[in-house]
Each structure stands twice: as structure tokens, then as C-alpha cells.
Amino acid sequence: MKYPYLLVPLSIFLLATTGSAQVASWENENVAGLRAYQQQNYVDAEKFFNSAFQQAKDFGERDPRLATSLNNLASLEHVRRKDANAESLYRRSLNLSEKIYGPDHTQLAGVLNNLANLLQEQARYPEAEILLQRALDIREKALGPEHPDIAVVLSSLGVLRREEASTRKPNHFSSVRWRSAKKTLGAEQPEVAGVLNNLAAVYQSQGRYKDAEFLYKRTLAIWEKTLPPTHPDIATVLDNIAAVQQLEGNYTEGESLLLRALDIREKAFGPQHPGVATILNNLAMFYKERGRYSEADPLMQRARGSGKTVLGRIRS
């Protein structure tokens, strides 16, 4: 069984500082790297984060800016799928952060969450769960159960529980966790929708398609109110809804949902992006399942032409 794309936030640190020209230079480079990262301009992000890292090394091992730079470089390597480099950098950041802040500081929770996400993507679930639980404990003790940062860890736990459910492990990421996130952030905030999306994926993996579709549609409703109409996250949940409807044998809305998702991703990323290829492939599979082969074949050719051959139904 294939699973939908899940939103897992990575923690990028700013660590605002004041003081000397050297300090200001580090902060400027770090902020510039963050902006480039958020715009998916990873070439510039690497340049700025590396510059900040080189400066941070001169501040000494006990300086928080070094741990911050290591985390940010790790996050960049993470999204570029350089997993070995990312893990090494995350662990260095975590080790330094523990020495600088102590074992229960909230700064550790962001690095723990990031490293856990990386391990989960490698199917290293027991290691990931230990780190996520530690991150959750730190944030709940330091910030209280209703702080917005709790939702970030809950979202990551939702991803992990979905993966565990696929191997028939108990699902502890229950509606109790969703209610906690909803209380923390309010029902109309994008972060809540991210948790909803992940909980829907848990239900989908368990064959609870009606429950999954209901939560995906609630996710869509929130994002349509709180995000721009061409935001990539909207395309993701449209694709997720279409996938569940196909599993249920309901093709009425599927085509329009996928066409809308395709339009959003093409506008957001351009026609050659792998995420566009994925929607093209999914739409082609939709047409093939309905015997519309003349419409499916050109879409498969476009998907291959974008530089990513996709076989079967794949989510990205």
C-alpha cells in the first residue's frame, strides 16, 4: 500500500543576538540562509549557512551559535536527502546543545525532533520514537501542554505512528493527541491542519477510509482559509483526498481534485519539478483505472520527461 505525503516540520533556528560586528555578521548570514531555505533556494541557503558556520567555529565549542549552525546545515542536508551528513550534523548539534544548555532545555527539543524525523524516514522507528518522546517531555515540562511548540512534536509522532501502523504495531497517536493539538493552537490554524493530515494518514493505513477522508477534508478547509490558494500544502491534501476516494472506489471528485493539485504544483514549482511528476503519474493511474488509456499515456510521458520515472501510485 502507498501512503500520502506527510508534513513534517523541520526546526530551523535563528538565535537572535546583539553586540559586535562579528556577531551581527553571523546573525545576518544565518537569517539570509533561513530565507533562502524557506524559498527552497538550497544553493544560496548552503552558501549562507556555511558562512555562518565558519564564523561560529571561531566563537568556541560552548557558544550556542555553533550548535545552531550545525542544526541548520543538518536541516539543509536533510531536505536534500544527504542523510549520512544530516545525521552526523544533527548529532553534533545535539551533543553541543546538551553541553551548553543542559539535558532539559527547549533548544534540544528542536534538534531531537529533526533527528527523529530523519531516522523515521529510514525506518529506524525505535530510535526515532525515543527521541520524539524525549522532545515531547522537554517541551511539555518547560512550556506546558498547551504551548504551540507541542504541536510540532505531535505532528512528528503522527508520522511515526502511521509508519508503525503499517507494520501492525499499536497506534498510540490517537484522537487524544489530536484534541491536545487542537486545544493548543485552535481549530483554524495551519499547524493544526498538519496534525490532522498526519492523523488522517494513520487512519488511511488502517483501512479507515471514511475517517481519513473526513480529516483530510477538514485539513483542506483549514488550509483554504489560512494559506494562499496556490500554496503547495493545498495540493498535497487534494492529492491525499483523491487517493482515499480511489481506494473507496469513488471517482466522482478524484479527477477535479488531481487537476487542481497539478495546477497548484505547476504554478508553485514549475513543470519540471518531481512533485509535478508525481501528480501527473497519479492522474495517469486514475485514468487507467477507468479505462481512459488515451488520456493516461501522455501524462505518463510528461511525468518521465520531468526527470522522475514514477511507477505505481506514489505520493510526494
Between the alpha carbon of residue 126 and those of residues 6, 129, 161, the distances in Å are 19, 5, 11
**Mean confidence (pLDDT) of the chain:** 78
Q: Is 79 within 8 Å of 10 (Cβ atoms)?
A: yes
**Residue 281: Cβ within 10 Å count:** 25
Domain range for 307: 227-316
262: in domain: yes
User: Higher model confidence: residue 162 or residue 113?
Assistant: 113
Residue 91's domain is classified under what CATH number?
A: 1.25.40.10
161: in domain: no
Q: Which amino acid is at 89?
A: L
Q: Which of 92, 124, 156 marks a domain boundary?
A: 124
Q: What is the pLDDT of residue 263?
A: 93
197: in domain: no
28: in domain: yes
Q: What is the pLDDT of residue 49?
A: 93
Alpha carbons 31 and 38: distance in angstroms, whole number:
11
Q: What is the pLDDT of residue 107?
A: 84
Cell reading at 71? 542544526
Helices 274-289, 232-247: axis angle to 10 degrees equals: 20
Q: What is the pLDDT of residue 293?
A: 87
Alpha carbons 174 and 158: distance in angstroms, whole number:
9
Residue from 118, 64, 65 nearest 91 by CA: 118
Please check the confidence at residue 308 and state whether its pLDDT lies above 60.
no
pLDDT digits (tens, 9 = 90+) for 229-268: 888 889 989 999 999 988 888 887 889 999 999 999 998 8
Q: Is 13 within 8 Å of 65 (Cβ atoms)?
A: no
Is pTM beyond 0.75? Reply is no
Residue from 222, 175, 235, 272 nearest 243 by CA: 235
User: Higher model confidence: residue 211 or residue 7?
Assistant: 211
Q: What is the pLDDT of residue 257?
A: 92
Domain count for the chain, please give it: 2
**Residue 278: Cβ within 10 Å count:** 24
Please check the confidence at residue 168 and state whether its pLDDT lies above 80.
no
Q: Rg (Cα) of the chain, in Å, rounded?
A: 21
Average pLDDT over residues 287-294: 87
pLDDT digits (tens, 9 = 90+) for 92-126: 999 999 999 898 888 888 899 889 888 888 888 88
35: in domain: yes
User: Higher model confidence: residue 267 or residue 186?
Assistant: 267
Q: Which of 103, 124, 145 marks a domain boundary?
A: 124
249: in domain: yes
Alpha carbons 293 and 291: distance in angstroms, whole number:
6
38: in domain: yes
90: in domain: yes
pLDDT digits (tens, 9 = 90+) for 275-288: 888 888 888 888 88
Q: Which of 100, 124, 148 marks a domain boundary?
A: 124
Maximum average pLDDT range among 176-185, 198-207, 248-257: 248-257
